[in-house]
Amino acid sequence: MIFDMKCIGERLKQLRTNAGLSQKNVSDYLQVDQSLVAKYESGTRTISSDMLDALSTLFCCPLQTLLSEKEITESIGFAFRTNNLTQEDFLALSAIHRIVLNQREMDELLEQLT
């Protein structure tokens, strides 16, 4: 399946700004150069599946949210100052977000069974 990198990039930028994060915050979390995040957001660079997974976890959204062309109806915002967060802080947040995403998926599966 072929995805529109420009559309994915726009979605990433929207999620990042909704969360109150800078490109530098995201690049620190991903352990990449800030210019790569800018290229992802502009759609000029293809994003690996590992990076997409890491970004969906950071933004606490299903991977399909990044790949879909549907409007983003909900996104998280960080309820604290984001300018002094370390990579360790982002990893801890991502672990919590992964738990939330897994719980949402389990709830959806349970609803289908009942």
25: domain CATH number is 1.10.260.40
Q: How many domains does the chain have?
A: 1
Better-scored residue on pLDDT, 62 or 76: 62
Distance CA 2, CA 65 (A): 16
Tokens representing 42 are: 């502009």
Distance CA 101, CA 80 (A): 21
Instruction: Give residue 24's domain range.
Output: 5-113
Kindly report the pTM of this predicted structure. 0.73
Question: Residue 40: its pLDDT value, please?
Answer: 96
Better-scored residue on pLDDT, 34 or 73: 34
Q: Which residues contact 96 (CB under 8 A, 6 or more apart)?
A: none
